[in-house]
Chain A
């Protein structure tokens, strides 16, 4: 039950893009076509889950016992950068077609603030997902479910947005609005729509 609440909350209520403002750069950059959106979304789901797992373990078994929690930022970003590099190498060997499909998105995920953001959130922010339970830091299982949920929310936002943008390209917005401005305003309207989900958990 708790995991269902986490999933619902991360995909809809606190959507990473429309509510938390993480991952905006790739959101605006890769959402021009639905196919690229799906590719980016899949890559993010994979990397974010893996990254959260490794950073949570690192925090729990290395940083906290050695009282080095002030090194969280630097440790986590290095882990993420190394992970992405490793994933690239492994994918190239195991599945070259998938590697070429993801293309340039994979290295870009290192600078996706959503990945680092989620890694930091699960070890610093306290949540109370169940009514009456005192809020506390997430356990490993909850953190992973949280990461998967966030990544799914990211993919969902990306695909919806790409679909809309494909339509906009066929219309004629005013000259100054072309490209990013109209995309941002569309995102704003989508954010308004997602606000309707608040309070369901």
Chain B
């Protein structure tokens, strides 16, 4: 694998094949954990951690896992890393752990993680798999943070906890479920428009 190939492997996850904005994978945590910028970013980073490690290990084990049982094996590897993230977060960042709640163990069924394992890590060497995981994970984190910023700003008048707008300017619906759907819809629409214009 050449340097430029590796670079492309890494950057495609950031914009061109951004997992949530372009590939439309990982919608559940996107909608649920973006009530604030910091929540979105934490979720993204936790997912990135699992994604990178699972990609590395699945790539390492690809010669060892027979084809018929590959999905259960992938799941065991991914679930182990998710449990590691769960335990570590519970011990060292308990407040964020409580806020993200159910969605940390749900990283196991995040289509991005299983999807990249199946589509890339099981067919490519370790280093490109690492880059693929890192790129996809960071792209996911960027999208989550962006959505979190928008929802937090409109719904609570703050960004990353810094209050900017007075309480009277808060549009509550944006930090509630309907706002999640609507915000994501508009962001993807804008991305689609930009994609069409760049062609």
Contact = CB atoms under 8 A, between A and B. Distances in A.
Q: Do A and B bind each other?
A: yes
Interface of A: 18-25, 28, 70-74, 77-78, 81-82, 110-113, 116-117, 120-121, 174-185, 187-189, 191-192, 195
B181 to A, nearest CB: 3
B83 A22 contact: no
Contacts of A195: 176-178
B82 A181 contact: no
Contacts, number: 125
Contacts of A121: 102
A175 to B, nearest CB: 7
28 contacts: A21-B32, A21-B177, A24-B27, A25-B25, A25-B26, A25-B27, A25-B28, A25-B111, A73-B83, A74-B82, A111-B111, A120-B105, A120-B106, A174-B189, A175-B196, A176-B189, A180-B188, A181-B185, A181-B188, A181-B189, A182-B185, A184-B185, A187-B181, A188-B178, A188-B181, A188-B182, A189-B178, A191-B177
B186 A74 contact: no
A21 B192 contact: no
A18 to B, nearest CB: 6
A181 B76 CA distance: 34
A184 B83 contact: no
A113 B186 contact: no
Interface of B: 24-28, 31-32, 71-72, 75-76, 79-80, 82-83, 86-87, 102, 105-106, 108-111, 114, 173, 176-182, 184-186, 188-190, 192-193, 196
- Determine the main DSSP class of A at the interface with B: helix
B28 A21 contact: yes
Contacts of B72: 78, 81-82
Nearest to A119: B105
Contacts of B185: 177, 180-185, 187-188
A74 B106 contact: no
A110 B111 CA distance: 10
Contacts of B83: 70-71, 73-74
A184 B184 contact: yes
A78 B76 contact: yes
A81 B192 contact: no
Given A117-B102, A191-B177, A192-B178, 9 more contacts: A70-B86, A74-B76, A77-B108, A111-B111, A112-B109, A181-B188, A185-B185, A192-B173, A195-B177
